[in-house]
A and B are shown apart, each in its own frame.
Chain A
């Protein structure tokens, strides 16, 4: 982005043109999150795709559950059961990520102009 296009850039967060450019490039650069399926990596490529979807659904379920807890819609017993389920799901996900050598970043696909998946 050329400097003469910046009409206003002040504030306590110290951001140079380069910082902003870097941040924007990070938002639009989805190299790291592309699903590169080749015959050589068919297993891990597919695992990345499947785990991305599973993680997205898991996070959505977790979010909805927290809304219900926050809204006081669950009994103590239900909260206890929910905690156990969510905890076990998270542990299982960690296990699977480790098995396929994937990180959280790998599962957070960049959707270009829509931002990150999670």
Chain B
């Protein structure tokens, strides 16, 4: 089973020593399979032995985390198995350029997750109170039941649009604030009614404190939102290639 793809430019002995000290899933030892400067951390395991449950996935993530503390790596999806070291080497040779490109992108960087939560119903009402257009739509009611129906739908539509535009403005302001950190961002809006922003950022390991401070500053500015910053994580969301 493959755990991660690592960049080992110098001192492969350090990686071997680290791998020797780590026990993989089911207590199976880890070892390295390399092609030039790219190394895979693997263990010998049959596909049938892999248990797809939460505790195994967490243990697997913990091993990747340990490796990520010392090496630049690309995490591999839990349960990725190849037949032999020979097959692994051939796969590495086929995908060498793309893997190296991805390793370069995440070099000395960690991923941070930012989730913004709020009571969106309450927030929409607050925004609505401050917005004349939406309030006005409530007073446009005419006699027809169909027109009333449209007015109600229009009001809901305007409330949603207002929330989306508010979320857009928060995202724009926050990304502007992060410009000097040279982050790579992936941002999703409205993951759920409560989770209005779900973002991941890739940034240099030594910029962690600045990131934390930026989020704290933002939290003070927007007290009705709840900013949850997590990390540092291995770059789970920044591996952009498909194996050939």
- Cross-chain contact B157 with A66 (CB below 8 angstroms): yes
Closest residue on chain B to residue A114 by CB atoms: B188
- Cross-chain contact A7 with B231 (CB below 8 angstroms): yes
Interface majority SS (helix, strand, loop, mixed), chain B: mixed
- State which size class the interface on A falls in: 20 to 34
Distance of B163 from chain A, by nearest CB (Å): 14
Residues of B within 8 A of A8 (CB): 212, 215-216, 219, 227-229
Is A55 interfacial (CB 8 A cutoff)? no
Distance of B38 from chain A, by nearest CB (Å): 27
Residues of B within 8 A of A32 (CB): none
* Contact with B228, one of A12, A20, A69, A84 (Cβ below 8 angstroms): A20
- Cross-chain contact B144 with A80 (CB below 8 angstroms): yes
Rounded to whole angstroms, the CA-CA distance of A82 and B212 in the bound complex is 50
Also in contact, A15 and B226, with CB within 8 A (given A8-B215, A115-B192, A116-B192): yes
Residues of A within 8 A of B145 (CB): 83, 87
B interface residues (Cβ-Cβ under 8 A, vs A):
112, 115, 117-119, 144-150, 153-154, 157-158, 161, 188, 190-192, 194-195, 208, 211-212, 215-216, 219, 223-231, 233
Closest residue on chain B to residue A90 by CB atoms: B149
A interface residues (Cβ-Cβ under 8 A, vs B):
1, 5-13, 15, 20, 23, 26-27, 62-63, 66-67, 69-70, 79-84, 86-87, 115-116
Residues of A within 8 A of B149 (CB): 83, 86-87
Can you report 7 A-B residue pairs in the complex whose CB atoms are below 8 A from each other? A5-B231, A8-B219, A27-B192, A69-B154, A83-B145, A83-B149, A86-B149
- Cross-chain contact A6 with B157 (CB below 8 angstroms): no
- Cross-chain contact A26 with B192 (CB below 8 angstroms): yes
- Cross-chain contact A70 with B146 (CB below 8 angstroms): no
Rounded to whole angstroms, the CA-CA distance of A54 and B129 in the bound complex is 34
- Cross-chain contact B150 with A82 (CB below 8 angstroms): yes
Also in contact, A12 and B223, with CB within 8 A (given A1-B230, A23-B194, A27-B191): yes
